[in-house]
Structure 1
Amino acid sequence: MEEPEEEKRSMPAWVMTFADLMSLLMCFFVLLLSFAEIDATKFKQIAESLEQAFGVQREVPAMEIPMGTSPVFDHFSPGRPEPTLLDEVRQQTQQDDPRLKTHTAQVLAQLEQATQQQVARTAQQLAQALEQEIQAGKLQLLQEENRLIIRIEERGSFGSGSSQLSGEFQGILGDIGDSLAQVPGRISIEGHTDNIPMRSARYASNWDLSAARAASVANALLAKGAVAMDRLRISGLAETRPVQDNLTPENRAQNRRVEIVVDLEQPIAQYQAKVLSLLEQGRAEEAFQVGWQ
């Protein structure tokens, strides 16, 4: 005899409780697994940050209210994170308009061009002041990047194996001193020789002779009073920096020389700072018309 519908036996009541328990156990073990794979270093850093954030700052005096800090602000900066292959989080912020960067590049290019024009203008002024000596072959004027070099050859300036300037060349150095007084920058006077060993009662080597010749040129410049003493530096380089090989008498004669080197690095830095300052003030027309002084 078939039982009534209401009297049929259904699923036991404990099955629902057992299913709930199994679900909770599965979630618990999944959670344990996720904890087992966490980076220990990062976990330690986060734990220390949380401890600092929610703990009491022991260094704060008792009369002040203890302040908490946020681990977010300690380890991250505002911005849009970008994916990276490194095992760390990096974020970048973009504050500059790309048009501003283009404008800055244009300004720097104009500044570099104006600087080179200023150096070339100074070299031209120096060449005009020494035009007669240069055409006569007594001097050479060279430009190497931000340096101006006045090259004085031994011929006509010094006697053989001597550091005594000729009377004519002392007058020429007076004109050079007047010209250098109008040019900014530090002045180095370098003496050079060929590779033939020098030994005499007065000079023990080429080092002594080259230094003595550089000192003679410096004294001649100072005698006129146009060049300040604190601008001058002298050095004797002997045969260490030849301009030609020493295989022929003509080449050795070119190596025996004194060079007056004007270093324009510092004036250029001051000039560029002045131009940029005027540009920041909105005085663009005036900025590129300023000179050394």
Structure 2
Amino acid sequence: MKRRRIRKRESTGAPKWMVTYSDMVTLILVFFILLFSVSQIDMVKFDAISESFRNRMIFDFYPSPVPMENPTENTSNEESGKNSNEFENPTQLENINDRDGGEEKDSLDELMQQVEQYLQNNDLSNAISASRTDQGVVLVLQESILFETGEAEILDSGKPFLNKIGKLLTNIPNHVRVEGHTDDRPISNYKYPSNWELSGARASSVIRYLINDNDFDESRFTSAGYGDTRPIAPNTSEANWRQNRRVEIVIMENNKQPENNE
């Protein structure tokens, strides 16, 4: 009996491995599509890069591979940097700002050290406190040193303190802002209908005394009366009321002008 021959089926179509390969390629394509769909283009950086290519600032300092007839005449401006926009680089502008901020900080530090040293040398540290703010150095004089309660006329006992402050300001030509502050207890009389008038009158009295006693330039000074709007302690006790009734002399940082009356 003859053995039956097994006929091999001829494979038609693509090989089997192509199915796996095509699935893998499809998955990779979907993966990159997902990455692109969730990504965001930073338009600011994109515009900056585009602008840099348009300006050709990168290639201005490199010689052209194409020979020119008169290379020395055409490259003198590029080598000197006249046609480049290197000074429009935001990074350099940031460095300039950082440097200016450091100079301002150093200036305030020196001013603060000078004021503190003067207060110590004249035994004023216990009566006058000094602190530094963004505006400059602030000297705080409590009401009890300069005024009677509810009054704006400077006491004789407070004049020596203002005399010493006047000597300090003689050596510091900066602009000065004098601020009057009160507690929140209301006041109402024919001279001062409210704390606004009282605080403004006290600031004006201090400025008038300093100018008359030291012959200062009036344009250096400005006054402000804040009433009870800027307390440094809660208005809940007699001790806190005393802290809030004060006059602040702000020695401005040397490149700042005093603010207008607020």
What does residue range 5-154 of structure 1 map to in structure 2 within 5 Å?
Answer: 91-94=54-57, 95=84, 109-131=98-120, 132-136=122-126, 138-154=127-143
Q: What code does the residue aligned with 1:216 have?
A: S
Q: What code does the residue aligned with 1:183 have?
A: I
SS of residue matched to 1:155:
helix
Alignment partner of 2:185 out of 187, 196, 204 = 196
SS of residue matched to 1:169:
helix
Q: Does 1:211 align with 2:211?
A: no
State the 1:209 CA deviation: 1.1
State the 1:110 CA deviation: 4.5
State the 1:236 CA deviation: 1.4
Which structure ranks higher in relative contact order (CA pairs < 8 Å, sequence separation ≥ 6)? 2
In 2, are the aligned partners of 1:119 and 1:146 still within 8 Å (CA)?
no
Aligned length: 180
In 2, are the aligned partners of 1:177 and 1:226 still within 8 Å (CA)?
no
Q: What code does the residue aligned with 2:208 have?
A: N
How far does the alpha carbon of each residue in 1:19-43 deviate from its partner, in whole angstroms, 9 at most, with x for none? xxxxxxxxxxxxxxxxxxxxxxxxx
How far does the alpha carbon of each residue in 1:243-285 deviate from its partner, in whole angstroms, 9 at most, with x for none? 11111111111110111112226269xxxxxxxxxxxxxxxxx
Q: What code does the residue aligned with 1:122 have?
A: L
CA–CA separation in structure 1 for the residues paired with 2:91 and 2:118: 41
How far does the alpha carbon of each residue in 1:123-178 deviate from its partner, in whole angstroms, 9 at most, with x for none? 21122222245422x21111102411111111222111111212121121111112
Q: Where in structure 1 are there 5+ consecutive unaligned residues?
A: 1-81, 85-89, 269-293
State the 1:181 CA deviation: 2.3
SS of residue matched to 1:233:
strand
State the 1:101 CA deviation: 7.6
How far does the alpha carbon of each residue in 1:173-230 deviate from its partner, in whole angstroms, 9 at most, with x for none? 1111121122233211111101100012322111111111111111110122253111
Match of 1:253 in 2: 242
Query: Per the alignment, do residues 133 and 193 of structure 1 end up closer, same or farther by CA in structure 2, a change over 3 Å counting?
Result: farther
Q: Give % identity.
A: 26
What does residue range 146-165 of structure 1 map to in structure 2 within 5 Å?
Answer: 146-165=135-154
Query: Per the alignment, do residues 237 and 106 of structure 1 end up closer, same or farther by CA in structure 2, a change over 3 Å counting?
Result: closer
Q: Does 1:228 align with 2:217?
A: yes
State the 1:117 CA deviation: 1.7
TM-score calculated relative to the size of structure 1: 0.54
In 2, are the aligned partners of 1:165 and 1:216 still within 8 Å (CA)?
yes
Match of 1:240 in 2: 229
In 2, are the aligned partners of 1:184 and 1:264 still within 8 Å (CA)?
no
In 1, are the aligned partners of 2:107 and 2:253 still within 8 Å (CA)?
no
In 2, are the aligned partners of 1:130 and 1:176 still within 8 Å (CA)?
no
Query: Per the alignment, do residues 237 and 267 of structure 1 end up closer, same or farther by CA in structure 2, a change over 3 Å counting?
Result: closer
In 2, are the aligned partners of 1:193 and 1:210 still within 8 Å (CA)?
yes
Q: What code does the residue aligned with 2:125 have?
A: Q
Query: Per the alignment, do residues 254 and 130 of structure 1 end up closer, same or farther by CA in structure 2, a change over 3 Å counting?
Result: same
Match of 2:6 in 1: none
Query: Per the alignment, do residues 104 and 207 of structure 1 end up closer, same or farther by CA in structure 2, a change over 3 Å counting?
Result: closer
How far does the alpha carbon of each residue in 1:74-127 deviate from its partner, in whole angstroms, 9 at most, with x for none? xxxxxxxx987xxxxx944533559x9877765654443333222211121122
In 1, are the aligned partners of 2:187 and 2:194 still within 8 Å (CA)?
yes
In 2, are the aligned partners of 1:178 and 1:227 still within 8 Å (CA)?
no
TM-score calculated relative to the size of structure 2: 0.60
CA RMSD of aligned residues (A): 2.9
